[in-house]
Structure 1
C-alpha cells in the first residue's frame, strides 16, 4: 500500500492581487524517498509553486496540504510549524558569510533550541549533530572557517547541512545549482538524491538544465505558463519530450545547456 503523500496539491490557482493567474490548476504529490525535478522556463510558475508550499504565495483556488496541514487560511502558529518542517536550499546559499561554517549549520536548529539558543548559545547535542551533518556533506574540516571563504559548491553543501539540521519532513531546493559549474552541479544533486533515498525525505528541486533533471531525479513535473504539461517518472522521459515546456525561441538555449552538462 502506497504511503500518503507528504505534499498534496490539487487544482492550485495562484494570482497576486488583481493580476493574471501565475498557477492555473496545478496538481502535485510528493512521496517519501523520492526526488522530483520541477522544470519550466522563467515565468512558468516554479518558484510560486514552491512558495505556495510554505504559505508565501496566496492560494486563489484549489487545495494545498503539506505534512498533514491544510495551507488554506492556516493560523500563524500552525504556519510556523509547517515552515519548520520544510528544509529549504536556495540558489544564492543564504549563508551569513562572516560566521563560521558550523554556526551557519547550527542556525537550522533555531526553531526548537529554546531561549538560551536565541541568546547565542547552542547545546552540545546540537553541536554534535551539526558536525555529523558537516561530515556527511564532506566538509567537516571546514567547520571553523568563515562561510564566505568557501567555494560555491562548498557553500551549497553547508546550506544543505543547515536544512537537515531542522530535521525536515520535506526539502525544497530552488535552483540550487544555477550558480555552480557542471561538476559541482552533479555532486550537489547527487547529495540531494542520496538524502531523499536514504533518509526518506522527499526533495522537490527546480532546475533549468534538462540533462541534470534526467540524470538525478526519480520523477519530473514540468510547468508551462502556470500549468502542468509533464508529470511522469523520469525513466519514461527524454530531452525531446521535455522540450514542450519551453518557448520556441528558448529551445536552442535549452539544448545548448543540455549539451554543456552531458
Structure 2
C-alpha cells in the first residue's frame, strides 16, 4: 500500500498533520468490528478523497473523528486533541473546530439562507445573542461567506426554495461560519447532478488550498475523486487499503478498493 504524504513543495520545515490516526478500531456493543487498524493523516491545505463501497467504513471513520463513533483501539488526534483522552468540555471544542457538510444539506428549510449560515456561529454566539439575535459582526461575516460561495443574492430567500447545488453552497458557508480547522464532507454531491457536483467539489478544493483547511470528502464516484483531490484514501471492509497522492493512484489501487463490487467500483470508469 502506498503511503500518504503531505502535498506541496518541500520548502521549510515539514508540516504537521491536523489529523493523525493510528491503528484505529471502532466496534459497537455486541456488534462486529467496523474499523480495523486504520491509519490516516490529514495535512493543512489538502483535499483528500475517501473512497470505498457502501459498508466499507467511510462514514464511521468520519464519525470517529468527532466522537460520534466509539474508538475501541488505537489513537486519534484531531485539531490538537487526543480523542481517546478528552477532558470535560473538550469534545464540544473538537466538534466546534470541525465543519461538516452532509449529503442531505441539513438546512432548516423555512428559515432564510442568511439565518441558516448564522447557525454555524451558535457555538460562540453567547447567551445574549442566542436570545436577541446575532451580532452585526456575525451577520457581516455570514454575508461575506455567502458572497464567497456565490449566492449572496439569495440571502433573504427561504432555504427550501433553492436548488440542491445552491443549498449545498449554503451548507458550506455555514460550515465556514464556525471558522473550522478541519472540514468533513460525507457524500456531499451524492444528490447533485454532474455539473453541480463538479462545482461543489471545486469550491471545497479551493477552500482547502486558500484557507489551509484539510478537507476529507467521502465519494462513491472515482472520476470525481481523481479529478478533485490531492490524495486518495481507499477503504475496504473497515481497513485502509490505499493511501497515495492522486497522481500516483492506478487501476491496481482502485481494484484493491472495490474488488469488482458493482458499477461504482468499475475500475474502467476511472
Aligned to 2:233: 221
Aligned to 1:184: 196
**Equivalent-residue separation in structure 1 for 2:137 and 2:231 (angstroms):** 36
Aligned to 1:68: 80
- Displacement of 1:18 after TM fit? 2.2
- Structure 1 spans left out of the alignment, 5+ residues: none
- Displacement of 1:244 after TM fit? 2.0
The alignment status of 1:254 with 2:262, answered yes or no, reads no
In structure 1, which of residues 198, 210, 234 is the aligned counterpart of residue 246 of structure 2? 234
- Displacement of 1:44 after TM fit? 0.4
**Equivalent-residue separation in structure 2 for 1:243 and 1:210 (angstroms):** 11
TM-score by length of 2: 0.92
Q: How many residue pairs are counted as aligned between the two chains? A: 258
Given that residues 209 and 257 in structure 1 are in contact (C-alpha distance below 8 angstroms), is that contact kept between their aligned partners in structure 2? no
Equivalent positions of 1:1-262 (< 5 A) are 1-239=13-251, 241-250=253-262, 252-255=263-266, 258=269
**Equivalent-residue separation in structure 2 for 1:57 and 1:72 (angstroms):** 12
Given that residues 102 and 185 in structure 2 are in contact (C-alpha distance below 8 angstroms), is that contact kept between their aligned partners in structure 1? yes
Given that residues 214 and 238 in structure 1 are in contact (C-alpha distance below 8 angstroms), is that contact kept between their aligned partners in structure 2? no
Aligned-partner SS, 1:117 = helix
**Equivalent-residue separation in structure 2 for 1:239 and 1:144 (angstroms):** 47
* Cα distance change, pair 99–258 in 1 and its aligned pair in 2 (3 A): farther
**Equivalent-residue separation in structure 2 for 1:100 and 1:257 (angstroms):** 43
Q: Which stretches of structure 1, 4 residues or more, deviate above 2 A after TM superposition?
A: 238-241, 252-259
- Displacement of 1:256 after TM fit? 9.2
- Displacement of 1:73 after TM fit? 4.0
Aligned-partner SS, 1:171 = strand
Aligned-partner SS, 1:111 = helix
- Structure 2 spans left out of the alignment, 5+ residues: 1-12
**Equivalent-residue separation in structure 1 for 2:259 and 2:249 (angstroms):** 19
RMSD: 1.4
